[in-house]
Structure 1
Amino acid sequence: MLARRDPYQPQGPTAPRRRPPRPDGRAPVGQPSSPGLGAPRPQDPLAATGPLHPLANRERNQQLRTYDSQVKGSFDNIVEVLKRISALQHEPDFEQKAQALAMDELGFPLPEDILANAWVTQLDMRSLFAWCVFETYKRTSEAFFTSDPLGEPEDHAFDAFVREDCGFHLLDVTPCADGRLAHAISYALRLPFSSVRRRPYAGAMFDVERTVTRWIKTEHRRHREGAPNQAHEDTRYLKVVVYHFSSLDPHHQGCAAHGSDDAQAARSGLNRLQDFRQAVENSFCCGASVTLLLLGLDTDTDAIRIHVPTADGATDLNRWLDAREVYSQTASMAPEAARAAIGERVRQEAGGGIEEGMVRFISRLLENNISQIDFVRQFHQGAYGDAGHAERFIGVGIGFKEIHLRNLTYFAHMETVEEGAADLDVGIKIFKGLNISRGLPVPVVIRYDFHSSVPGSRERAVRSCERIAAAVHGRYRDLSRQGFLHTLLTVRDGDHHKPPEVVGSSLQAPAREAH
C-alpha cells in the first residue's frame, strides 16, 4: 500500500482535545479537574465497542493491564497520601499517625528525621515526595526481578522462533527515549524483554560506534562460545529502530527530538540504520551484513506501521504497512485465515522476493500488535488519555531493564552529562510542567549496570553514578538548592537476574536541606 499520509490522521488544524478521566475518576496528569476549553477527543475508528480481534490475546491483555495499573497506581497514590499526612502535621502523635498512614497506603515507612523536624518548621514535602517516589521505584524494581510480572510460559520458545524460523540470532531494538515508548517491547510489540537488546535514545538516534562495538561482541561470542548460536549458521543481526508519531495531534505530540515532524523522524531513523550497516560492511566486508527494520509507533493508539524492506533490503519511507488496516481487514476471519492473510500482505508490500524469515517476523509483530490495539480499545477507549508526557521520574545513565511501562520514565541514556545534556534538558523541561509547576521536585534515578565477572566493574559503576549525580546537581544548581531536584544512585549486576542496589541519594544527610 502506498501511504503518503496516515489515513487515520486528522487533516488540517487539529483542535486541542479533552483527555478522558482516569479509571479512579481523578483528572489525568496535566489536566485540570474543572471543566475547561477543548474539543472532544476524535473517535478512533477501532474504539472498543464490539468484540476483540480473533488474534487478540485477551488473557495477556488483562495481565498487562493489571501490572500497569498496580505500578502506576502506586506512584500516583503518593500525592494523595502526602496531602493527608500534611493535614496531620500539627496534631498530637503526628509522627505515629503519619507512619501508620504511610504503611497502610504506601507500604513503607517514611524517614523519621523529616517527620521529627516538622514541629520546628513546616513539613519538608519536597523531600518527602522524592523519598516516596524513590521507595516506590525500588519496590517496583524488586518485584520485577523477583516475581517476573511480564513473563510468559512461551517466552523461551520465542528465541527458537527468531533464530530457526526467522534467521536472526539477535534483536537489537532502539526506540525513542520518550516515556510514551518505554512499553514498546513488552506491550506494543509483545516481545519477551529477555530476548531483546533495548537501548532507547532521544529521537531513536542511537550511537553508531557503540552499536558496532556491540555487534562485534555478539559475533565474537558466536565464534568463541557458539552463543546464541554457532557462527557458521546462516543467521543475521537484526537492528530495529522505532520512531513515533501522534495520529490525533500530529503537530504537537509527535517526537520532540524531530520537531513533531513524522517524516523527519522516519528519515533520521533510516539514515542511522544505514550508517550502522555501512560501518559494519566497511570494516568487515559485505559478508558481515546486518538486517535493518524501521517501525513507527502511534503514541495515541499503540498501532504500529512497518516499513517492509524489499527483497534487496531497501526501505521506502513513503510506504508502510499499517497495523490498523491489517486489523480491519482480518477482524472477521478465523485465526489461521487471519495469520495467512497477514503473511500475504507482508509479501505484497515487499513487492515479492522477500525472505520468508522476514515475512514470519513482521507477521508476528503485526499479530502481536493487534493484541495491543485491542488493549488500548479495552482499557483506554481507543486512545490514551495522557497524549503528552506524564512520566513519574527521570531515568539517567545506562540500564533500567525493569522499566516497561508507558509514561513511567523519561530516559536520558548517557555516560557523561556533557554528551547527554540536550536529552537531560528536555527531561527537566518536561518535569517543570509536570512537577515543579505544582511545587514538587524532579526525581532522578541514576543507574549504571556492571558485570561482576569483570574485576572492578562495580566500583567503576558506582563512581559513574557519583560523577553523573554531581554533574546533574551542578547543571541545575538553582533547582537543587531549592529542593526541586533529588537523585537516587543505583547499580545493578548485569550478570545476574536481580534488582538494582542503591548506593547513594541526595536525600541522605547532610545533603538534604529543609524547605
Structure 2
Amino acid sequence: MTQQPFRRSRLGAPRLGQRRAPFGLGAPKGPRGVLGAPQVAHPACPTLPERNCRHPLTDHEANRQLAYCEDSVTERFDRIVPFLKDVTALPRDGELGERIQDLARDRLGHGFDEALLADSWINGPDLRGLFASATFEALNAAAKQFGRKLEDQKNDALSTSNFFLDCGFHAIDISPCSDGRLKGLMPFILRLQPWSFTYRKAYAGALFDVEEDLRQWSEVELRRFREGVPNRADEGSRYLKIAVYHGSSSDPNHEGCAAHGSDERKAAEAALDRLHAFRQAVENTYCCGASTDILLVGVDTDTDAIRVHVPDADGDISVHRYIDNAYLYRETLNLDRHAAHRAVYDAIREVNETDDWGRSTSGEPHDGMRRLIATLLVNNLSQIDYVTERHQGRYPAESIGHAERYISVGDGFEEVQMRNIAYYAHLHTVEENTNDLDVGIKIFRKLNVSHGLPIPIAIHYRYDGRVPGARERAAGRARQVCNAIRARHSELDDEGMLYFQLSVQDRPSGSEIEEVSQA
C-alpha cells in the first residue's frame, strides 16, 4: 500500500468561527506542506521580522525568568573556547601554569587541578584536558543552579501534582528523543513543573525501552496499592505515557531526527508503535483493567512549536490527527485572552470531527485528557513567543542543528534541562542500548572531533540512599559503563578524544552530585 504523505494545516486557512478543517487536518486534496517544508516566514508569525508578535496567552514573566536561566548557563560554556585561544597566546615559560590558573579564574570563574598544568611549561598546555575539565565545571555549576531553582519551585510542584490528579492522571511518563534540542522539553517547550510522579527518560528516536517502562509502571502501581501515593489504587485514575519525536522546518532532510534519517514520518510512526507496544504490554501482563493512556507529541526544533496528536474517545491515536500549535498560534494571535482560550478547546473538539485520513469514529478523548492537551498547547504558546522574542521566531543557524556541549550517559542530570546542552543516552550497560550511544558519538565526531576537540562524557547514576549499598553499586555501574565505552570506541580513546566525569546522586531532586573516581 502506498503511504500517504504526512499532512499539516494550511497557513492560509479561514479565520476562527468559519467552517473549516480542524487544526492540523483537512481533505487530502490539493498541495500541503509538511512540518519540514522550507518556509520564508515564521510559521506562527508571518510578520516577523518586521514587527514582534505577542500572543494574548503568553506568560511574559516566565519567559523573562527562563531567559535569565538560559543565558547564565550557556555563558559558562561559551567562555571555554575563547579562553583556550587566549591560553595558546601565553608565553611558554616556567610560569605558564600560574598564568593559565589566573586566566581561568578571571575568565571562567574557577581554576584547574594542578596536575593538569604541572608540565605545561615543557609540553605546552593540555588544551583537550582543559576543554573537558572546563566543560565539566560548567555542567556542575549548571546542576547546582537548576537544583536551587527546583528547591524554589516546591510549591509549584504541589500545584502541578494537583492538576495532574484533577485530570485523572496519577503518573506522567515522558520519553522524548535524546536529541539535545529536546533537552529543554519540560521547563521550556511544555512548561511542566517537576513532580515526584513525572518521569522523563530520553532515547534515540524516542524509541523507549518497553520492558523498562513496564517495570516503572509496576513500581508506581505497587506504591499506590501499598501506600496510597499519590492516590489510592481504587480511585480510577490513569498512568499516562507520552512519546515526543521531532522534525526541522528549516532543513527537514538533514536536521530532523538522526535516529530516523531525518524522516519525520518514520519518527512519528516509530514512536507511536512503541506507545502501542507499551499499552499492550500492560494489558497483557496485568489484564485489561490496567488503565493506561498514551499521547504522541511532535516538536519543530527550529521554532519549538509542538504538534499534539489528539487521542479519540477510545484512547487511539493517528499520526494524521493532530493540532499544529504554530497554526493555532497564528489563528488566535489577535484574539483576547478569553476568546483565545476558547479557541484552544474548540481545536481539540474539532480535530476528532475531521473527514480526513485521521478520522475517528468514537469522538473526543475524556475530559482530563482534553484539559491536559489544552494546558500543553497554551504553555507552548509562551515558548513560541520566547523563541520569537529572542531569535526572531527561529533559532539561529548555529543552533538549528546539533550544538550539544557534552554527552550525558546513565540516568542523566534531571536538574539540567535546557536546549542543546547535552545529548542524552539512557543506559545501564553499553550493550543494552548501543544505538543511543553510537548516535551521540557520531554527532560529536562532527561537533568536536573534526575541530580537534575531545568528547566530554558525563556518566551519572541515581541511587536510593535508603537502600544499603546502593551508592556503591551506582558508582560501580558508572565505572563499568565508562570502561565499556572506552572499549567500544577504543580508536577515539587511544587518540585522547574521550574524557569522562563519573558521578552519582541520591534520588531526591536537588540532592548533592557526588563525583566518583574512574579507577
TM over 0.5: yes
Match of 1:376 in 2: 387
Q: Decide which of 344, 364, 369 is 2:375's aligned counterpart.
A: 364
Higher mean C-alpha displacement, 347-356 vs 390-399: 347-356
For each residue in 1:413-453, what CA deviation from the matched residue of structure 2 results, as whole angstroms up to 9, or x when unmatched? 11111122222121111111111111111000001111011
Select which of 368, 372, 395 maps to 2:408.
395
Q: Distance in 2 between matches of 1:44 and 1:366?
A: 18
Which residue is 1:447 aligned to? Answer: 460
SS of the equivalent of 1:148 reads helix
| 1:404 lines up with 2:417 in the alignment | yes
CA shift digits 1:448-476 (9 cap, x unpaired): 11101111111110110010111111122
User: Which residue number in structure 2 is paired with residue 97 of structure 1?
Assistant: 99
CA RMSD of aligned residues (A): 2.2
Describe the SS at the equivalent of 2:79. Answer: helix
Contact preservation (8 Å) 1:311, 1:350: no
What residue number does 1:339 align with? 341
CA distance 1:122–1:484, change in 2 (3 Å): same
Correspondence for 1:312: 314
1:499 is displaced (CA, Å) by 2.9
Do residues 81 (structure 1) and 45 (structure 2) align? no
Q: Distance in 1 between matches of 2:75 and 2:91?
A: 25
Distance apart, 1:369 and its partner CA: 0.4
1:479 CA displacement: 1.6
- 1:35 aligns with none
| Distance across 1 between alignment mates of 2:136 and 2:60 | 33
Matching residue of 1:486: 499
2:482 and 2:311 map into 1 onto residues whose CA distance is 43
Q: 2:8·2:35 contact (CA, 8 Å) conserved in 1?
A: no
- Displacement, 1:331? 1.5
Which residue matches 2:331? 329
Check if 1:42 corresponds to 2:40: yes
SS, match of residue 431 in structure 2:
coil
**Separation in structure 1 between the aligned mates of residue 375 and residue 35 of structure 2, nearest angstrom:** 34
Q: 1:6 to 1:76 in 2, by over 3 A?
A: farther
SS in 1 for 2:457: strand
Q: Which residue of 1 aligns with 2:186?
A: 185
For residue 220 of structure 1, the aligned residue among 219, 222, 226 is 222
1:509 alignment partner in structure 2: none
Which AA in structure 1 matches 2:373? I
1:459 maps to 472
User: Equivalents in 1 of 2:412, 2:212: separation in Å?
Assistant: 15
Q: Which amino acid aligns with 2:137?
A: E
Q: Is 2:2 the partner of 1:4?
A: no
Corresponding residue for 1:414? 427
1:98/1:331 Cα in 2 relative to 1: closer, same or farther (>3 Å)? same
Instruction: From the superposition, tell whether residues 149 and 85 of structure 1 become closer, same or farther in structure 2 (CA, over 3 Å).
Output: farther
Work out whether residues 243 and 295 of structure 2, in 8 Å CA contact, stay in contact via their aligned partners in 1: yes
Uncovered stretches (5+) of structure 2, i.e. residues with no partner: 12-31, 354-362
Deviations along 1:139-176, whole A, 9 cap, x unmatched? 21122223438848534212111111x11111111100
The letter of the residue matching 1:85 is V
3-state SS, counterpart of residue 391 of structure 1: coil
User: Residue type of the partner of 2:42?
Assistant: D
**Could you tell me how far apart the structure 2 residues matched to 1:260 and 1:3 are?**
14
Report the equivalent of 1:511.
none
Match of 2:450 in 1: 437
Q: What are the equivalent positions in structure 2 for 1:465-484 lying under 5 Å apart?
A: 465-484=478-497
Instruction: Choose which of 413, 421, 428 in structure 1 pairs with 2:441.
Output: 428
Q: Contact 2:120 / 2:126 at 8 angstroms: preserved in 1? A: yes
The question of 1:354 aligning with 2:365 is answered yes
Q: Which letter does structure 2 place at the counterpart of 1:220? A: L
- Contact conserved, 1:6 with 1:247, CA < 8 A, in 2? no
The answer to whether the 8 A contact 1:445-1:487 is kept is yes
Give, in whole Å, the separation in 1 of the partners of 2:35 and 2:300: 18
- Counterpart contact for 2:179–2:204, Cα < 8 Å: yes
Q: Which residue identity is paired with 1:170?
A: A
Q: CA deviation at 1:345?
A: 1.4
Matches within 5 A, 1:153-164: 154-164=156-166
- Deviates most, 2-11 or 297-306: 2-11
Aligned counterparts of 2:246 and 2:392: Cα–Cα separation in 1:
20
3-state DSSP of counterpart to 1:419: helix
Gaps (5+ residues) in structure 1? 16-40, 507-515
Separation of aligned partners in 2, 1:299 and 1:51? 19
Shift of 1:89: 4.0
Q: 2:115 aligns with which of 89, 113, 116?
A: 113
Q: Distance in 1 between matches of 2:456 and 2:333?
A: 43
* Paired-residue identity, %: 43
TM-score, normalization: structure 2?
0.88
**2:170 aligns to what?**
169
For residues 111 and 78 of structure 1, do their structure 2 counterparts lie closer, same or farther at Cα, with a shift above 3 Å needed? same
Q: Distance in 2 between matches of 1:465 and 1:86?
A: 34
- C-alpha spacing 1:89/1:445, structure 2 compared with 1 (3 Å): farther
Number of equivalenced pairs:
479
Please give the alpha-carbon distance, in whole angstroms, between the structure 1 residues aligned to 2:8 and 2:414: 35
* SS state at 1:405 partner: coil
